């Protein structure tokens, strides 16, 4: 008889994005090993990226319940009658108004749905995956009020997330207090980052490492079977790709773009390809450094099309500004798919951070400063000229199927306690 899990995830297909893939892949491979799932998720918002291909990967037995969502950000804009451009300051204002996050009202919407499902007595585990971080509070409530084992999956760090904005010290304090309260009331954890577990172990009452398992994000080997590169309408002699979202404060590409100009002046024809969306307008630094013809924007693509474009690249890159607090405590799901493609990685990240550790352990790329243009130029030249040989050591540990087996063992061991 199959083991049954009830998953609560605000983001779920056909909504796309890197974070969505984590539980799509877990469900896909756990279903092959006698686990069945029901998912409670939000209604689809018009602004959300769409990826029907992820929905097609789910087993037919998966039941999806959609509720909400509450749309606080839209009502907030109407309430204070501000018209802010989409970007950092809009996110700052949202963070100012909504402590923890802007989705916390969704907890009230979905609580009756969860209650109804678990009252039937057919589930062995209740799993919440965050962000939104306010779901952590709901996970603690269900831990305290029900007998069903509750698990919290952290796809991203909470208060130590460099992408998260705390407008004032008071906001930071309130967010940390919410984190401490929620985490101390939960018994089982899955985390994509070791630094998150280390943070909990140091600062959270009642947290012990034996309650948790580290399962990073990864890549699905089946996604690469028969994968053909996408023909590029415009090519350089060397093509550098980036997958994901650009933000103004954490992964601004301006230093990379200056490096591309200097490389062009030195005789290196390097073209940059961005696959994804952008909160920050990358055409501005491209124009500033006069490399408009070397920067190509593909917009958001469905997962397979994104992989096809990345497969066409000569190398891939990630950027985490080393000057930003906690930039060493995140990786980004894109890195693992870079490993699966076995493309050299230009990692402009903190040298002591989690992303650098993965690059160095797998010998999959070059780690350099995100703001030192000379270092960036040197790293690109080393990749172009083949001065470094990249071996992609032991990347199988990041296989989604292997990770699902680890998760299965952890879930079933904790269910026996």
pLDDT in tens, 358-401: 999 999 999 999 999 999 999 999 999 998 999 999 999 999 99
Average pLDDT of span 131-138 = 93
Is 267 inside a domain boundary?
yes
More confident residue, 82 or 53: 53
> 329: which DSSP letter?
G
On whether both 186 and 138 belong to a single domain, the answer is: yes
Residues 271 and 199 in one domain: no
Judge whether residue 272 has pLDDT over 70. Answer: yes
Write the pLDDT tens digit of every residue in 80-124.
333 334 566 566 677 766 777 778 789 989 999 999 999 998 999
Residues 300 and 289 grouped into a single domain: yes
H/E segment holding residue 107: helix 106-118
Residue with tokens 């998150």: 196
Q: Across residues 211-218, what is the average pLDDT?
A: 96
Is it the case that residue 72 has pLDDT exceeding 50? no
Q: What is the pLDDT of residues 293-310, one digit of tens each?
A: 999 999 888 899 999 999
Kindly report the number of other CB atoms within 10 A of residue 138's CB atom.
22
Domain with 49 in it? 3-69+104-217+399-415
d(CA 97, CA 101): 9
Determine how β-strand 345-348 pairs with β-strand 270-275: unpaired
Would residue 85 count as lying in a domain? no
Average pLDDT over residues 35-58: 86
Residues 387 and 404 in one domain: no
pLDDT of residue 104: 79
- Helix pair angle (88-97, 72-80), 10° resolution: 90
Tally the domains of the chain. Answer: 2
DSSP code, position 161: -
Query: What is the CATH number for 318?
Result: 3.40.50.2000
| pLDDT at residue number 39 | 97
**Residues pairing with 37 in the sheet:** 5
Q: Are residues 403 and 388 in the same domain?
A: no
Average pLDDT over residues 6-25: 90
pLDDT digits (tens, 9 = 90+) for 318-340: 999 999 989 999 898 799 999 99
The DSSP letter of residue 294 is G
* Residue 7 pLDDT > 60: yes
Q: Within this chain, do residues 123 and 206 fall inside the same structural domain, yes or no?
A: yes
Rounded to an integer, what distance in angstroms lies between the CA atom of residue 153 and that of residue 123? 17
User: What pLDDT, on a 0 to 100 scale, did the predictor assign at position 85?
Assistant: 41
Query: Same domain for 28 and 137?
Result: yes
Q: With respect to residue 94, please indicate whether it lies within any of the assigned structural domains.
A: no
Q: How confident is the model at residue 165 (pLDDT cuts 50, 70, 90)?
A: confident
- Does 77 fall in a domain? no
Assess whether 258 and 376 both reside in one domain.
yes
| Residue 316 in this model has a pLDDT that exceeds 60 | yes
Given CA atoms 184, 189, 191, 194 in this order, what sign does their dihedral have?
A: positive
Shared domain for 197 and 268, answered yes or no, is no
- Measured in degrees and rounded to the nearest 5, phi and psi for residue 133 equal -70, -25
Using the predicted structure, report yes or no on whether residue 76 has a pLDDT greater than 50.
no
Q: What is the DSSP string of 35-95?
A: EEEEEEEPPPPTTS-B-HHHHHTS-TT-EEEE-----HHHHHHHHHT--PPSSHHHHHHHH
pLDDT at 415 over 80: yes
Residue 200 lies in a domain: yes
Q: What is the Cα–Cα distance from 288 to 224, expressed in whole angstroms?
A: 37
Is 135 a member of any domain? yes
**Are 145 and 259 found together in one domain?**
no
d(CA 58, CA 91): 32
In a domain, 90, yes or no: no
Q: Do both 108 and 194 map to the same domain? A: yes
**Residues 363 and 391 sit within 8 Å (Cβ to Cβ):** yes
Q: Is residue 334 part of a domain?
A: yes
Give CA–CA dist 238/273, Å, rounded. Answer: 11
Nearest-10 Cα torsion for 55, 56, 57, 58? 60
Range with top average pLDDT, 10-14, 40-44, 127-131, 385-389: 127-131
Cβ atoms of 214 and 194 within 8 Å: the answer is: yes
Q: Are residues 261 and 114 in the same domain?
A: no
Share of the chain above pLDDT 70, in %: 93
Q: With b meaning 16 or more CB within 10 Å and e meaning fewer, what string describes 240-264? A: bbbbbbbbbbbbbbbbbbbbbbbbb
């Amino acid at each position: 008889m199959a083991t049954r899990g009830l998953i609560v995830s605000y983001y779920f297909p056909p909504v796309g994005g890197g974070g969505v893939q984590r539980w799509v892949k877990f469900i896909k491979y756990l279903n092959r090993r006698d686990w069945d799932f029901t998912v409670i998720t939000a209604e689809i918002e018009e602004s959300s990226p769409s990826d029907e291909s992820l929905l097609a990967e789910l087993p037919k037995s998966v039941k999806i319940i959609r509720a909400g969502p509450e749309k606080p950000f839209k009502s907030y804009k109407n309430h204070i009658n501000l018209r802010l451009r989409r970007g950092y300051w809009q996110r700052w204002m949202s963070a100012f108004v909504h402590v923890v996050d802007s989705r916390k009202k969704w907890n009230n919407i979905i609580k009756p749905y969860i209650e109804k499902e678990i009252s039937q007595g057919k589930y062995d585990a209740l799993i919440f995956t965050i962000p939104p971080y306010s779901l952590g509070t709901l996970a603690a409530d269900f831990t305290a009020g029900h007998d069903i084992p509750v698990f919290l999956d952290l796809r991203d760090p909470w208060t130590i997330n460099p992408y998260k904005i705390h407008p004032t010290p008071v906001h930071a304090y309130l967010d940390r207090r919410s984190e401490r309260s929620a985490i101390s009331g939960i018994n089982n954890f899955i985390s994509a980052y070791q630094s998150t577990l280390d943070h909990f172990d140091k600062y959270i009452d009642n947290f012990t490492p034996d309650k948790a398992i580290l399962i990073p994000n990864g890549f699905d080997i089946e996604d690469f079977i028969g994968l053909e590169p996408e023909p590029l309408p415009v090519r350089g002699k060397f093509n550098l790709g980036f997958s994901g979202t650009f933000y103004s404060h954490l992964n601004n590409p301006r230093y990379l773009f200056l490096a591309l100009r200097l490389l062009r002046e030195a005789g290196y024809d390097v073209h940059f390809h961005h696959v994804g969306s952008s909160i920050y307008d990358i055409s501005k630094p491209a124009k500033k450094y006069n490399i408009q013809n070397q920067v190509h924007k593909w917009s958001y693509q469905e997962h397979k099309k994104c992989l096809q474009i990345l497969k066409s690249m000569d190398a891939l890159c990630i950027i985490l500004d080393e000057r930003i607090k906690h930039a060493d405590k995140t990786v980004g799901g894109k890195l693992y798919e870079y490993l699966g493609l076995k493309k050299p990685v230009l990692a402009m990240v903190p040298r002591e951070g989690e992303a650098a550790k993965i690059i160095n352990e797998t010998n999959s790329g070059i780690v350099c400063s995100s703001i030192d243009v000379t270092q960036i130029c040197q790293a690109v030249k080393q990749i172009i000229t083949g001065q470094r040989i990249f071996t992609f050591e032991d990347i199988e540990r990041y296989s989604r199927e292997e990770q699902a087996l680890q998760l299965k063992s952890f879930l079933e061991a904790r269910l026996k306690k």
